Amino acid sequence: MKIYLIDSFYPVNTRNEKIANSLYTGLPGVSINVVSWNRENREVRKPKYNLQLYWKKSPAGRLLLKLWNLYGYYKFLKKTITDGDFIIASHWDMLVLTAMMKKNKQKIIYDNLDIPTSGNSIVLYTIRTIEKMALKKTDAIIFASRFYKDLYSDFKGSTFILENIPTFTPIKEKIRTTIKNQLTISYIGLVRYFDILKNLVDVTKNKPNIIVKIHGGGQDLNRLKSYCQGISNVHFTGEYTQEELPKLYERTDLVWAAYPNKDYNVKYAISNKFHESLFFKVPGIFSCSTELGKLVSNQRIGFVINPYSLQDISSLFDHLLVNANLINDSIDRLEVFSRNSLTWDQQMSSINKYLLSDNL
């Protein structure tokens, strides 16, 4: 059996790296092949699985340039994937390309890591329509969020939930916050959504007893750094490896995970930060008016704010500064809640069984 996983950017994202490695480990003897697009001429490292790359300059954030070059990548895919039993298409745009080149005996699995979204209702309708057409040729969907599944209730194929749970050894006990009137809040991840992060900075820059740490790189890093010049309680540490995650979480009281809840995808997504919050027993700060925000609020396993309201953010921080016990109470509930959570390997096992049972 031969499986292809199609990505649109190299290095492949962490989720696809984990999927490919899990398939390689869980399905011995099966040919695992990742096809991706090296859009920034990144240095290539040799993985366990087979890797095939399309080389064409198309930097991240340049959407029109990507669309212009997409046909070239499609031709590369058609030339590269001449056989194979299963094709896992990562994201809706790769699903569309895969559906266009599907051969009779091949099966398509759609890795629905983000639902199509746009601030323009006409664009959103168009994208969703194109996605629905591609789904007619799709045999299974892997949902990256439990909240996505209801949005695809008309789909008749097999469905799986594979949320982005870390694969580290879980922390058994988190060190409790004991110092009143002092907090460390960390943002850990791709530095984007400048306007939201700016709100975090604006609220805390006049609160010297709050330390903000920004861990990671991304398209808004330089802009945010420039904005924070002269602000002494905001610190940037740059990019990090997955192996460094446990230490980053160990050194913070709260993790900032508030994303723009006006975005259609954010309303239904479960961010990596949520699972890391569970995993490392560090309460997160999430956005209201989202399915994830409702879950966090109902279970009291973190804190929920309006990310566009400086007053809302400031009120929460002021409250927590003098009530460290609220953070510790959340940690206790995180520990209880996490006991019933599936691991990454448990989620992957059902996908592996599907692949083996449908072995052509």
Contact in structure between 155 and 265 (CB atoms under 8 Å): no
| Average pLDDT estimate for 16-23 | 94
Q: How confident is the model at residue 176 (pLDDT cuts 50, 70, 90)?
A: low
So what's the pLDDT on residue 251?
A: 92
Q: Which residue has the higher pLDDT, 178 or 80?
A: 80
pLDDT tens-digit readout, 128-168: 999 999 999 999 999 999 999 999 999 999 999 999 998 87
pLDDT tens-digit readout, 108-122: 999 999 998 887 889
So what's the pLDDT on residue 180?
A: 64
Residue 177 pLDDT greater than 70, yes or no: no
52: which 2 tokens? 């095939």
What average pLDDT is seen over the chain? 92
So what's the pLDDT on residue 175?
A: 53
So what's the pLDDT on residue 229?
A: 96
pLDDT tens-digit readout, 332-348: 999 999 888 889 999 99
Q: How confident is the model at residue 174 (pLDDT cuts 50, 70, 90)?
A: low
So what's the pLDDT on residue 288?
A: 98
Contact in structure between 274 and 297 (CB atoms under 8 Å): no
| Average pLDDT estimate for 70-79 | 94
So what's the pLDDT on residue 360?
A: 45
The DSSP code sequence of 165-185 is: ---SPPPS-PPPP--TT-EEE
Identify the residue whose tokens are 């499609």.
74
> pTM of the full predicted structure?
0.89
pLDDT tens-digit readout, 76-110: 999 999 888 999 999 999 999 999 999 888 999 99
Report the SS3 class of residue 108: strand
Q: Which residue has the higher pLDDT, 166 or 274?
A: 274
